[in-house]
Amino acid sequence: MPSRVWKNKADKTERKEWACKTNIPYKNSEAILKISIHWFRNDLRLTDNPALIQAAEAGIVLPVFIWDAECAAELGPGGASRWWLHHSLVQLNDSLGGALNIYCGNPQDVLATLAKEHAVDQVCWNHSYEPQSPQRDEAVAEEMRSSGRDVQTFNGSLLWDPEEVLKADGTPYKVFTPFYKRGCLNAMPPRKPQKAQRVRYQKASDSLSVDDLGLLPKIAWDAEFSNHWKPGEAGALQALRHFLAEGIGDYKDGRNFPAKKKTSRLSPHLHWGEISVNQVWYAAREFLPSEQVDVFCSELGWREFSACLLFHFPNLPSENLNRQFDAFPWEHNEAWLLAWQKGQTGIPLVDAGMRELWRTGFMHNRVRMVAASFLVKNLLIHWHHGADWFRDTLVDADLANNSASWQWVAGCGADAAPYFRIFNPVTQGKKFDPAGEYIRTNVPELGNLPNKYLFSPWEAPEAVLGEAGVELGKTYPKPIVDLKESRQHALAAYAMLKARDTSSEPC
DNA sequence: TGAAATGTTGGGGCG
DNA sequence: ACGCCCCAACATTTC
């Protein structure tokens, strides 16, 4: 897409030429060509970007990205997500012909200064629905309006606006099915994606470079990431095309098998808005008939559901949605947490997942559920610790999805898995990784074990272990907990919670 | 998008 | 032929 950097005072011929191409009458171009800031946040794309389109239609665009280190320190992007952001910004800057204006600091201050320096007429951005956003954005808007500038904001990241998806009584949905069926599908269809258009960008002289933001990790644990991911808008479109060609046809069943790569792997792209969810939704629905894409679309629905929950319950990252769980007897054990994080629990499917995460910044969804269930239910470690680790290590770390999903697994969330639904990593492995491919890829030291014992090496006869070159406790850990015993323990903890709850009820 | 315990059914081996 | 037991296969319930 054509884009060009214009100096502050573009010469007349250039301006005339451009006015010609865009059908804006040259005579009026001076008056019509307003200067707008487009504030990039979680919408790092040029296509189907409502706020950017608004800015572009008005005239010259000053594209801005601001890294607010103070804000980021709290529940902002973790290590893997920062890696992604770094590369995504590099891509975005390239597609803007180098015109991305990068700053560090408090957005309100940065934008106020920029607006003054560049005599900005209008400021545009797409909403973020994360908890700190609405208030901060409103303050920015207020300041801009009071200095006589237009402020235009849009929903650029969700199919349905969380403010509008409410039950008849005006309260937010807490159960997925009615949320999706009645709240979403029954409402107006999502906005159709808009094409990218010609934009004239302006580069400020005091912009930082992407490197200046220091987003890349100091220790090179991201070594393998670039083998698996291509951040940026082009990478996002490529991932979408690949999913349509290879994954979506068999999505319903295929998505459950971690060794098959049938899931879309669009989550990090969607998180940073390198592609809009509207583009994905319509691309899928135009590609195959409804009944073949409904399962995938409902996964996008879960993304909407999580965003909506976080929007209406801003404490979702820290507090149990179901407050009964506040009394749950978590048993913190630092050594177990470390073993889980490093993929050294001695439970092959769990370790495979945790190592895939560490190595590639991603874990297949099926395995996420198993690994998370193991932490929360077999180890009885508080879901906060799991959420913290995922937030730091997943390239698709997303406050809404992460918080909602951990609460779902722990049983305290909206429409949650009942607490007694405890995944057995051995059964799950046999069912969803029957050939053991996924485990062998990620836990190579078990590679020579026969399938019969691959999912539970502690049950293998000594001779079989010896044959496979496995020595439990040396080359691979013994299980840190007994699956059956820890399951019983978890159920007992839950029973206690329930007893406590009912005993205090009748008053 | 659970797992395990418990219940039910029916075929086959066997005396 | 019959009753009995075993057990796989499936269904239901319980956590």
Position A198 scores a pLDDT of 85
Position A122 scores a pLDDT of 98
Indicate the pLDDT class of residue A27, thresholds 50, 70 and 90.
very low
- A20 contact to strand C (CB, 7 A limit): no
Query: Catalytic: which of A406, A408, A424, A442?
Result: A406
Length of chain A: 507
- Examine the pLDDT at A141 and tell me if it is beyond 80: yes
- Is the CA virtual torsion A406, A407, A408, A409 positive or negative? positive
* Per-residue model confidence as pLDDT tens digits over A279-317: 999 999 999 999 999 999 999 999 999 999 999 999 999
Domain ranges of chain A: 3-155, 323-503
- Examine the pLDDT at A5 and tell me if it is beyond 90: no
- Examine the pLDDT at A500 and tell me if it is beyond 80: no
Inter-residue contact A37 to A152 (CB < 8 Å):
no
* Per-residue model confidence as pLDDT tens digits over A114-132: 999 999 999 999 999 999 9
Position A181 scores a pLDDT of 95
**Amino acid letter at A7?**
K
CA distances, A12 to each of A7, A200, A369 (Å): 12, 15, 61
Indicate the pLDDT class of residue A10, thresholds 50, 70 and 90.
very low
Residues 6+ apart with CB under 8 A from A206: none
Residues in A 251-290 whose C-beta is less than 7 A from nucleic strand B are: 256
| DSSP reduced 3-state for A34 | strand
Nearest CA-CA partner of A92 in A156, A49, A141, A152 = A49
Position A219 scores a pLDDT of 87
Inter-residue contact A258 to A432 (CB < 8 Å):
yes
Examine the residue annotation and report whether A330 is marked as an active-site residue of this protein: yes
Alpha-carbon distance of A12 to A24, in angstroms, equals: 14
Indicate the pLDDT class of residue A502, thresholds 50, 70 and 90.
low
* Per-residue model confidence as pLDDT tens digits over A43-87: 999 999 999 999 999 999 999 999 999 989 888 999 999 999 999
Which of A343-347, A353-357, A411-415 has the least mean pLDDT?
Answer: A411-415
Residue A210 DSSP code: G
Position A1 scores a pLDDT of 32
Which of chain B's bases lie under 7 Å from a protein CB?
1-4
Which of A25-29, A110-114, A151-155, A429-433 has the least mean pLDDT?
Answer: A25-29
Examine the residue annotation and report whether A365 is marked as an active-site residue of this protein: yes
A3-155 against A323-503: fold identical:
no
CATH class for the region spanning A323-503: mainly alpha
- A426 contact to strand C (CB, 7 A limit): no
Rounded distance in angstroms from the CA atom of residue A461 to the C1' atom of nucleotide B15: 38
Q: Rounded mean pLDDT of A145-150?
A: 97
Rounded distance in angstroms from the CA atom of residue A452 to the C1' atom of nucleotide B10: 30
Residues 6+ apart with CB under 8 A from A244: A283, A284, A287
Nearest CA-CA partner of A117 in A56, A40, A206 = A206
Question: How would you label A335-357 residue by residue, b for 16+ Cβ within 10 Å and e otherwise?
Answer: ebbebbbebbbbbbbbbbbbbbb
Position A12 scores a pLDDT of 46
- Examine the pLDDT at A90 and tell me if it is beyond 50: yes
* Alpha carbon distance, N-terminus to C-terminus of chain A: 67
Indicate the pLDDT class of residue A20, thresholds 50, 70 and 90.
very low
Alpha-carbon distance of A491 to A220, in angstroms, equals: 41
Indicate the pLDDT class of residue A504, thresholds 50, 70 and 90.
low
Position A17 scores a pLDDT of 52
Position A485 scores a pLDDT of 94
Computed over every residue of chain A, the mean pLDDT equals: 92
Examine the residue annotation and report whether A67 is marked as an active-site residue of this protein: no
Inter-residue contact A119 to A35 (CB < 8 Å):
yes
- A495 contact to strand C (CB, 7 A limit): yes
Query: Catalytic: which of A330, A437, A448, A458?
Result: A330
* Per-residue model confidence as pLDDT tens digits over A177-194: 999 999 999 999 999 999
Q: Rounded mean pLDDT of A330-358?
A: 97
Name the helix (H) or strand (E) containing A165: none
Query: Catalytic: which of A143, A163, A299, A437?
Result: A299
Indicate the pLDDT class of residue A220, thresholds 50, 70 and 90.
confident
- The more confident residue out of A32 and A54 is A54
Nearest CA-CA partner of A266 in A237, A305, A307 = A237
Position A496 scores a pLDDT of 85
Q: Taking the domain A3-155, which CATH number applies?
A: 3.40.50.620
- A490 contact to strand B (CB, 7 A limit): no
Residue found by looking up tokens 């090496």 in the block:
A457
Inter-residue contact A442 to A351 (CB < 8 Å):
yes
> Residues A14-17: contacts with CB within 8 Å, 24+ apart?
none
Alpha-carbon distance of A66 to A60, in angstroms, equals: 19
CA distances, A464 to each of A60, A474, A477 (Å): 70, 16, 16
- Examine the pLDDT at A23 and tell me if it is beyond 50: no
Q: Where are the alpha helices (DSSP H) in A77-147?
A: 79-95, 107-117, 133-146
Q: What is the 3-state secondary structure (H, E, C) of A429-493?
A: HHHHCCCCHHHHHHCHHHCCCCHHHHCCHHHCCHHHHHHCCCCECCCECCCCCCHHHHHHHHHHH
Residue A212 DSSP code: G
Inter-residue contact A249 to A264 (CB < 8 Å):
no
Residues 6+ apart with CB under 8 A from A412: A320, A321, A322, A324, A325, A328, A383
- A493 contact to strand C (CB, 7 A limit): no
Rounded distance in angstroms from the CA atom of residue A450 to the C1' atom of nucleotide C4: 40
Position A503 scores a pLDDT of 62
- Examine the pLDDT at A24 and tell me if it is beyond 90: no
Extract the tokens encoding A77: 């992007």
Position A499 scores a pLDDT of 79
**Amino acid letter at A242?**
H
Nearest CA-CA partner of A158 in A81, A35, A291, A50 = A50
Rounded distance in angstroms from the CA atom of residue A458 to the C1' atom of nucleotide B13: 36
Residues in A 394-433 whose C-beta is less than 7 A from nucleic strand B are: 417-418, 420-424, 427-428, 431
Supply φ then ψ for residue A61, to 5 degrees: -115, 130
Alpha-carbon distance of A382 to A410, in angstroms, equals: 8
- Is the CA virtual torsion A424, A426, A430, A435 positive or negative? positive
**Amino acid letter at A122?**
Q
Indicate the pLDDT class of residue A497, thresholds 50, 70 and 90.
confident
Q: Rounded mean pLDDT of A99-124?
A: 97
Inter-residue contact A203 to A98 (CB < 8 Å):
yes
